[in-house]
Amino acid sequence: MDNNGKLLEVTGLRTWFPVKSGLFGKTAGHVRAVDGVSLTIAPGETLGLVGESGCGKSTLGRSILRLIEPTDGEVRFEGENILAFGRERMRRFRGKMQIIFQDPYSSLNPRMTAGNIIAEPLGVHGQAKGKELAERVAQLMEQVGLRPEHARRYPHEFSGGQRQRIGIARSVALNPSFIVGDEPVSALDVSVQAQVLNLLVDLKERYGIAYLFISHDLSVVRHISDRVAVMYLGKIVEEAPREELFRRPLHPYTQALLAALPVPDPAKRRTAIMLKGDLPSPINPPSGCYFHTRCPVKEKRCAEIEPSFNEVSPGHKAACLLLER
């Protein structure tokens, strides 16, 4: 861990994908999926990442792990910039950083048994073999709420929630200190979601795992996160401690997201904030503040000046020109 007490420190991360056109495949532009993101995560902390579909959340998570190679920036994990690592050093390092995928169906090899899926990372990294490997797999299955005697079953013989538990067991097999959860409960039934969320919280408390928890469901993020970051069109527009963000959202985009949440009490009403249009294209983002084309409180300068990401109150940051007065 580096000396500022942060497990993960991301600085100015950009992941742009070239757009080809013409007979010779000339680069005509770039999809700015992640466009200058900076964030930190402390040991054992859960940072929730929310935003609309297409805003770059999953690309950010995979770029941090180098499952997608970033275009620019730094990713410091335990004080080391992993973007400078060679292939072999990165392979050895991967045991510390894992991912839980969104789809519990396509993320598991249908030709491998549950036991072999969970055992694979242990074998690749040479951490166990033979009887010791079988015992470790049985232990992992018990920890995630699966029966060890089902290790010989194939993924299609499990329910969706059980499949996701196999994925979770695989992700914690190497005792990582950081896991990216890429919408790990969005494909599950609501009752199963609660079980899997509680499992993730239990694993965090037991092993001190830090999470980057990606979701579009604000109620899920509120349940599991310590801090929340809001992403819009490749940029972080607001970040705050969980309860602070839900109690006092500062950015107009965050306010709109929270206003869309259903209220369980029929006596209480929320004032709806209607956003105009769809998410702009990341190939040709708007000038100035990216959000100004949909913002209900925009000013003329918002189309001309890009806001900086400033700390408005202790631990609460936002990127909005209206907060800079």
Task: Tell me the per-residue pLDDT of 215-259, one tens digit each, with 9 for 90 and over.
Answer: 988 989 999 999 999 999 999 999 999 999 999 999 999 999 998
Look at the alpha carbons of 214, 7, 65, 145 in this order and tell me if their dihedral is positive or negative: negative
Whose structure tokens read 């070239």?
Answer: 18
DSSP-derived 3-state class of residue 48: strand
Beta strands in the chain (DSSP E): 8-21, 26-41, 46-50, 72-77, 80-81, 97-100, 178-182, 210-214, 227-232, 235-241, 310-313, 316-318
- Cα(13)–Cα(231) distance, integer angstroms: 13
Which two tokens mark 301? Answer: 């300068």
What pLDDT score does 265 carry?
Answer: 65
Task: Supply φ then ψ for residue 238, to 5 degrees.
Answer: -155, 145
Task: Tell me the per-residue pLDDT of 154-175, one tens digit each, with 9 for 90 and over.
Answer: 999 999 999 999 999 999 999 9
Average pLDDT rounded to a whole number, residues 293-297: 92
In the structure, what pLDDT confidence band is assigned to residue 270 with cuts at 50, 70 and 90? Answer: low
**DSSP class of residue 29?**
E
**DSSP class of residue 263?**
P
DSSP-derived 3-state class of residue 233: coil
Share of the chain above pLDDT 70, in %: 95
What pLDDT score does 158 carry?
Answer: 95
In the structure, what pLDDT confidence band is assigned to residue 275 with cuts at 50, 70 and 90? Answer: confident
Gyration radius of the chain's alpha carbons: 21
Domains of the chain with bracketed CATH: 8-225 (3.40.50.300), 252-325 (no CATH)
- Cα(63)–Cα(14) distance, integer angstroms: 9
Q: b or e along 179-213 (b: 16 or more beta carbons within 10 Å of the residue's beta carbon)?
A: bbbbbbbebbeeebbeebbebbeebbeeeebbbbb
Task: Tell me the per-residue pLDDT of 57-100, one tens digit each, with 9 for 90 and over.
Answer: 999 999 999 999 999 999 999 999 999 999 999 998 999 999 99
DSSP-derived 3-state class of residue 316: strand
What pLDDT score does 325 carry?
Answer: 64
Q: What is the pTM of this model?
A: 0.92
- Please choose, from the candidates 172, 174, 186, 244, the residue with its C-alpha nearest in 3D space to the C-alpha of residue 215: 186
Beta bridge partners of 76: 9, 81
In the structure, what pLDDT confidence band is assigned to residue 306 with cuts at 50, 70 and 90? Answer: very high
User: Terminus-to-terminus CA distance in the chain, angstroms?
Assistant: 38
Is 206 in contact with 6 (CB distance < 8 Å)?
no
Whose structure tokens read 């402390």?
Answer: 42
**DSSP class of residue 232?**
E
Mean pLDDT estimate for the chain: 92
Which two tokens mark 24? Answer: 């010779």
Which two tokens mark 224? Answer: 């599991």
pLDDT higher than 90, residue 277 = no
Contacts of residue 8, defined as CB under 8 A and 6 or more positions apart, other chains included, come to 39, 40, 41, 64, 75, 76, 77, 178, 210, 212
Strand 178-182 vs strand 210-214: parallel, antiparallel, or unpaired?
parallel
